[in-house]
A and B are shown apart, each in its own frame.
Chain A
Amino acid sequence: MSDVTSVPDARGYFGAYGGRFIPEALVAAVEQVADEYEKAKADPAFAAELNALLKDYTGRPSPLTDVRRFSAEAGGARILLKREDLNHTGSHKINNVLGQALLTRRMGKNRLIAETGAGQHGVATATAAALFGMECTIYMGEVDTRRQALNVARMRMLGAEVVPVTSGSRTLKDAINEAFRDWVANVDSTHYLFGTVAGPHPFPMMVRDFHRVIGQEARAQVLDRTGKLPDAVVACVGGGSNAMGVFYDFIPDAGVRLIGIEAAGEGVETPRHAATLTKGDPGVLHGSRTYVLQDEDGQTIESHSISAGLDYPGVGPEHSFLKDTGRAEYRPCTDADAMNALRLLSRTEGIIPAIESSHALAGALELGRELGPDAVILVNLSGRGDKDMHTAAEYFGLLDTDNASDSDNASGGAK
């Protein structure tokens, strides 16, 4: 396991996972991204410009918040939240977007396309396009345009075109398919600003690197606050970008458990979940070899989660590698447990988390009860919950009945 931080290799492999499974039409463009990224890494001006944006535009470093009242529900373990929800645009996604937007400008391209599930990556991309004066088209599954309508309005307000995707499951997987189709046709002018640590090499590595700042800051903040490293780091995993970002600098710290929380939807014993690492097996999806939810014939199975950002039947290849090497653990969390954690954090701390991040919170509650009161658990709070108020209002019956589309206003609300 000594090599867990020296991945990927030159061909983009993290152990058996990763690589580059793409049509020939995209090979030149993907190689250009890889070359430009290597050059940018060696250019102090690139780092300086990115760091200035992260500080003055995004608002980094993001704070670390002790959540004592919430922790009381977690067996008394001390829970610390890394506040990526406080970044400009409301999630961790902006870290990667600003890096790739700068890269796009270096490549001389003037059009950004992206997929989005929860809409946070789409909003971040539309934001960067506005800031850099670029054209922007966002692909979003039609199901997700409805459940994350606030973010559709934000993207359009920022000047982006939002295309609802009606193929397949009409969610994140299909939005990625459509973005690839656009890229193949417009690759001369267009950069596909991929939003998670999946896709063909170099995306899994590059997106991880742009999010690494989360773990770098958090590691120092936890040491400073508690005098030691945390016992565990917990993050939700859709494609896996916020998790890779917060995990990466802890990988050499063998005593720190790394725990990714996947969306179990209605339960991993049902067919309606998105727990790729728990229930999938290795295959090729969206340009890399990784765990995939697939049937006996290698056809992708549609995933289900109340959280649009975690509703994806694939996962970044580095997570597949960390799972197989045992350096990270992955656990499922149901819709119901995530929604309860969402409400609990709101009511105990005055922080309304995204439904995605609520999966990590639910994982931390469970882990805290396992580890006991001496444990310190770092949770990546990847985003804020404004976008989810429609879903939460329906789920918990928060609106007066003539406004709510759902008349069930029981406070338990599970349905």
Chain B
Amino acid sequence: MTNALLDQTLAAARAENRAALIGYLPAGFPSVAGAVPTVQALIDGGADVVEIGLPHSDPVLDGPTIQTADDIALRGGVRTKDVLETIRTITAANPTVPVLCMTYWNPVDHYGQARFAADLAAAGGAGCILPDLPVEEADEWLAAAAEHGLATVFVVAPSSRDERLATITAKGTGFVYAAAVMGVTGTRTQVGELAEDLVARTRATTELPVCVGLGVSDAVQAAEVAAFADGVIVGSAFVQRMLDAASEEAGHAAVRELAAELAQGVRKR
């Protein structure tokens, strides 16, 4: 089972012969209430798809930037129910924008897999990205997601062997998240090389769109990746704009501006 809004959005970008821009921001950042206008700035700037992160105490796949944001969010008292509420508010104001939840597995496991799927769907969420849940452990979640019309996006990495890529893409829906580099989240000066090969190997196994994330921070890199991928995923660069801003308003302006630049980048393939 998949999510119709997500599929349509990615198909529309493909029909325009461009890559989609997928933006990530954690819930609860810079505060529980302040996350909503921040995500709105991302959408207003031109993000086609949004990922809302569920902040975690042990973000082992994140570099210093998102670690800092998660820390701020958790210190600010963000709860799982607040993450769902943020998603509800964003989807209500932006009914044509698919919103995914990106989360480490334990908070979902602890909330209850079926309950989380039901509540995420009720909040208008389009699906989940679960970077530390391997396909081998995902059967119960996949059944719950299917029941509620949620997509489940799996991550593939440059180290994934071809036969494993096929196993993963057979279970995933929505799109495939191709990690551009071996490493944690964070901006990088170089992205392309490993990613292009990984996208080609992934495409050989699936019809699903293949979107590339990890390291992209500017329009030039976005254009570079858009040349071979269906979507460009950007997270740390947005978080960094907020961290660097003198005020929340200035941060929103900077996020909007970066999203607009990246939106141009993904149209330059």
Binding site for B on A (CB under 8 A): 11, 19-29, 167-168, 173, 177, 180-181, 184-188, 283-286, 292, 294, 296-300
Known: A24-B160, A181-B60, A285-B58. A298 touches B106 (CB 8 A): yes
- CB pair A299 B56 closer than 8 Å: yes
- Residues of A contacting B57 in the complex (Cβ-Cβ under 8 angstroms): 168, 299-300
Please name the residue on chain B nearest to A30 by beta carbon.
Answer: B134
Known: A297-B79, A297-B111. A284 touches B56 (CB 8 A): no
Q: How far is the CA of A356 from the CA of B57 in the complex (A)?
A: 26
Give chain A's interface secondary structure class. mixed
- B161 CB, nearest partner CB in chain A, Å: 6
- CB pair A185 B184 closer than 8 Å: yes
- Residues of B contacting A29 in the complex (Cβ-Cβ under 8 angstroms): 159
- Residues of A contacting B110 in the complex (Cβ-Cβ under 8 angstroms): 283, 294, 296-298
- A334 CB, nearest partner CB in chain B, Å: 25
- CB pair B134 A297 closer than 8 Å: no
- A21 CB, nearest partner CB in chain B, Å: 6
- CB pair B79 A181 closer than 8 Å: no
- CB pair B109 A27 closer than 8 Å: no
- B190 CB, nearest partner CB in chain A, Å: 14
A-B pairs with lowest CB-CB distance, top 8: A298-B110, A25-B157, A185-B183, A298-B107, A299-B57, A298-B106, A300-B57, A28-B159
Residue-wise interface mask of B (55-89) relative to A, using a CB-CB cutoff of 8 A (1 in contact, 0 not): 01111110100010001001000011000000000
- B226 CB, nearest partner CB in chain A, Å: 23
Known: A27-B160, A168-B58, A181-B60. A22 touches B109 (CB 8 A): no
Q: Is B179 an interface residue (CB 8 A)?
A: yes
- CB pair A181 B184 closer than 8 Å: yes
- CB pair B134 A299 closer than 8 Å: no
Q: Is B156 an interface residue (CB 8 A)?
A: yes
- Sample of 13 further A-B pairs with CB below 8 A, known A25-B158, A173-B58, A298-B109: A20-B136, A21-B132, A22-B134, A23-B132, A24-B157, A25-B179, A27-B134, A28-B160, A29-B159, A168-B57, A184-B183, A284-B106, A292-B106
Give the total of B residues in contact with A, Cβ under 8 Å: 39
- Interface-central residue, B71, B109, B111, B134, by most chain A CB under 10 Å: B134
- CB pair B132 A22 closer than 8 Å: yes
Q: Is B137 an interface residue (CB 8 A)?
A: yes
- CB pair B60 A180 closer than 8 Å: yes
- CB pair A23 B131 closer than 8 Å: yes
Q: How far is the CA of A298 from the CA of B168 in the complex (A)?
A: 26
- Residues of A contacting B132 in the complex (Cβ-Cβ under 8 angstroms): 21-23, 284
- Residues of B contacting A285 in the complex (Cβ-Cβ under 8 angstroms): 58, 106
Q: Is B92 an interface residue (CB 8 A)?
A: no
- Residues of A contacting B56 in the complex (Cβ-Cβ under 8 angstroms): 299
- B104 CB, nearest partner CB in chain A, Å: 8
- CB pair A24 B154 closer than 8 Å: yes
Binding site for A on B (CB under 8 A): 56-61, 63, 67, 71, 74, 79-80, 105-111, 131-134, 136-137, 154-161, 164, 168, 179, 182-184
- CB pair B157 A20 closer than 8 Å: no
- CB pair B182 A20 closer than 8 Å: no
> Please, could you name 27 A-B residue pairs with CB atoms under 8 Å apart, sorted by A?
A11-B136, A19-B137, A20-B136, A21-B105, A21-B134, A23-B132, A25-B155, A25-B157, A25-B179, A25-B183, A27-B159, A28-B160, A168-B57, A177-B58, A177-B59, A181-B184, A184-B61, A184-B182, A184-B184, A185-B184, A283-B106, A283-B109, A283-B110, A297-B79, A297-B111, A298-B106, A299-B56
Q: How far is the CA of A180 from the CA of B67 in the complex (A)?
A: 14
Q: How far is the CA of A128 from the CA of B71 in the complex (A)?
A: 36
- B143 CB, nearest partner CB in chain A, Å: 18
Please name the residue on chain A nearest to B160 by beta carbon.
Answer: A24
- Residues of B contacting A23 in the complex (Cβ-Cβ under 8 angstroms): 60-61, 131-132, 155, 157
- A191 CB, nearest partner CB in chain B, Å: 14
Please name the residue on chain A nearest to B83 by beta carbon.
Answer: A297
Q: How far is the CA of A24 from the CA of B107 in the complex (A)?
A: 19
- Residues of A contacting B168 in the complex (Cβ-Cβ under 8 angstroms): 24
- Residues of B contacting A298 in the complex (Cβ-Cβ under 8 angstroms): 80, 106-111
- Residues of A contacting B183 in the complex (Cβ-Cβ under 8 angstroms): 25, 181, 184-185
- A180 CB, nearest partner CB in chain B, Å: 5
- Interface-central residue, B57, B107, B155, by most chain A CB under 10 Å: B57
- A163 CB, nearest partner CB in chain B, Å: 13
- Residues of A contacting B164 in the complex (Cβ-Cβ under 8 angstroms): 27-28
- Residues of B contacting A184 in the complex (Cβ-Cβ under 8 angstroms): 61, 182-184
- CB pair B74 A299 closer than 8 Å: yes
- Interface-central residue, A23, A25, A187, by most chain B CB under 10 Å: A25
Q: How far is the CA of A11 from the CA of B136 in the complex (A)?
A: 9
- Residues of B contacting A294 in the complex (Cβ-Cβ under 8 angstroms): 106, 110
- Residues of B contacting A292 in the complex (Cβ-Cβ under 8 angstroms): 106
- A68 CB, nearest partner CB in chain B, Å: 46
- Residues of B contacting A286 in the complex (Cβ-Cβ under 8 angstroms): 58, 60
Please name the residue on chain B nearest to A297 by beta carbon.
Answer: B80
- B74 CB, nearest partner CB in chain A, Å: 7
Q: How far is the CA of A125 from the CA of B108 in the complex (A)?
A: 35
- B224 CB, nearest partner CB in chain A, Å: 21
- Residues of A contacting B159 in the complex (Cβ-Cβ under 8 angstroms): 24-29, 187
